[in-house]
């Protein structure tokens, strides 16, 4: 015997084989047809047939009574709605799971792609640095060769009576004044330091000293060992691209070279005596030049300090 709870769980319309919109007459007709096949009198030894006959009878009792059928339809509808919500929820959960798995796969693929791109970029940066380093070395080599050629091209024989470099207007060492844009609040001093200035200027020749003004931003003096080095720097050096240098002569600007005097005649004892005297004079000149250089550096430092103090006093 089926209880009321079990009865409500059954599909009574399906049990009778009719639609849920069937009329009462159609329901009764379907009951008679089903009941004839499983009547206990026809199936005395079949307990399942007897149970089915009982269920058909209960279905008829519910569906043949209008109030009972309405209550059953309401419960049946609520059950179907609950099943639909469950199905949708299951579908949503399934979709969420599939989406999550898809995102995980995409994230894994993206991570792999980022790693690949990063490695490629690192390789390219390394290659560019190597190429840039080689190009820089090559440019520096070419500059040195050019300077060497200019030095060799400017050397005259002893007969010419002149040295390889242009003469300056005085015996002081050549000095260039360097200026660039910088503000008082700029701790980086426009991007220039003593090391940076040395690296920019040393490719033209030996640099004896670089003095950067401590109080006046964007100002320095560079002292070169030779006029040729200072002249090359004056003509060619531009400084940093983002903050170019303005270079002017401070001391030792070269004058026009004197005319070349040619001597005629054969070499003789006079030439040997003249060479010996020239060697002694050269040694004395070197000693005196070193002494003058030291004095000039000290004088230059004092002048720069005095200039800074005067500018500071003028501001205040």
Q: Where are the domains of the chain?
A: 4-64, 175-256+291-315
pLDDT band at 247 (very low <50, low <70, confident <90, very high): very high
Other beta carbons within 10 Å of 129:
10
Closest CA to 33 of 13, 16, 10: 16
248 neighbors 219 (Cβ within 8 angstroms) = no
Are 4-64 and 175-256+291-315 the same fold in CATH?
A: no
Q: How confident is the model at residue 226, as a pLDDT? A: 94
Q: Report the C-alpha gap between 274 and 268 in whole angstroms.
A: 10
The DSSP symbol for 166 reads: P
Q: What is the pLDDT of residue 294?
A: 67
Q: Is the pLDDT of residue 93 over 60?
A: yes
* pLDDT band per the 50, 70, 90 thresholds, residue 80: confident
C-alpha 292/C-alpha 311 separation (Å) is: 28
To the nearest whole number, what is the mean pLDDT of the chain?
80
The span from the CA of 112 to the CA of 126, in Å, is 21
Rounded CA separation 313/157 (Å)? 54
For the stretch 157-199, pLDDT in tens is 333 444 444 544 456 889 999 999 998 888 899 999 999 999 9
Q: Which CATH superfamily is domain 4-64 in?
A: DnaJ domain (1.10.287.110)
pLDDT at 156: 44
Indicate if the pLDDT at residue 79 is higher than 80: yes
Most confident by average pLDDT, 32-36, 92-96, 207-211: 207-211
Say whether pTM exceeds 0.85.
no
* Rounded Cα gap, residues 290 and 284, in angstroms: 10
Structural contact between residues 222 and 201, judged by C-beta atoms closer than 8 angstroms: yes
Give the separation between CA 61 and CA 74, rounded to whole angstroms. Answer: 17
The residues pairing with 179 across neighbouring beta strands, listed in sequence order, are: 219, 246
Write down the pLDDT at residue 265. 47
> How close are the terminal C-alpha atoms of the chain, in Å?
114
> CATH assignment of 175-256+291-315, given 3.40.50.1000, 3.60.20.10, 3.30.70.330, 3.10.20.90?
3.30.70.330
């Amino acid at each position: 015997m089926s209880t009321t709870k079990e009865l409500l769980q059954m599909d009574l319309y399906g049990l009778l084989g009719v639609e849920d919109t069937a009329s009462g007459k159609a329901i009764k007709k379907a009951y008679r047809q089903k009941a004839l096949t499983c009547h206990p009198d026809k199936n005395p030894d079949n307990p399942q047939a007897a149970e089915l006959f009982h269920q058909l009878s209960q279905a008829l009792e519910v569906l043949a009574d209008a109030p009972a059928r309405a209550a059953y339809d309401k419960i049946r509808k609520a059950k179907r709605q609950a099943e639909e919500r469950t199905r949708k929820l299951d579908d949503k959960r399934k979709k969420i799971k599939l989406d999550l798995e898809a995102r995980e796969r995409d994230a894994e693929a993206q991570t792999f792609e980022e790693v690949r791109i990063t490695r490629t970029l690192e390789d390219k940066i390394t290659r560019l640095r190597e190429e840039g380093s080689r190009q820089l070395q090559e440019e520096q080599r070419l500059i040195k060769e050019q300077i060497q050629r200019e030095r060799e091209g400017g050397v005259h024989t002893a007969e010419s009576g002149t040295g390889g470099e242009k003469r300056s207007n005085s015996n002081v060492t050549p000095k260039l004044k360097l200026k660039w844009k910088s503000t008082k609040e700029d701790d980086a001093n426009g991007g220039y330091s003593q090391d940076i200035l040395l690296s920019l200027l040393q490719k033209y020749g030996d640099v004896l000293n670089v003095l950067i003004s401590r109080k006046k931003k964007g100002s320095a003096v560079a002292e070169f060992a030779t006029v040729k080095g200072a002249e090359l720097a004056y003509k060619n050096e531009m400084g940093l691209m983002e903050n170019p240098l303005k270079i002017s002569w401070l001391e030792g600007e070269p004058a026009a070279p004197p005319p070349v005097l040619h001597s005629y005649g054969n070499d003789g004892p006079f030439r040997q005596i003249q060479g010996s005297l020239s060697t002694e004079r050269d040694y004395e000149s070197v000693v005196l030049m070193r002494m003058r250089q030291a004095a000039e550096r000290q004088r230059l430092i004092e002048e720069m300090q005095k200039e800074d103090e005067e500018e500071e006093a003028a501001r205040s």
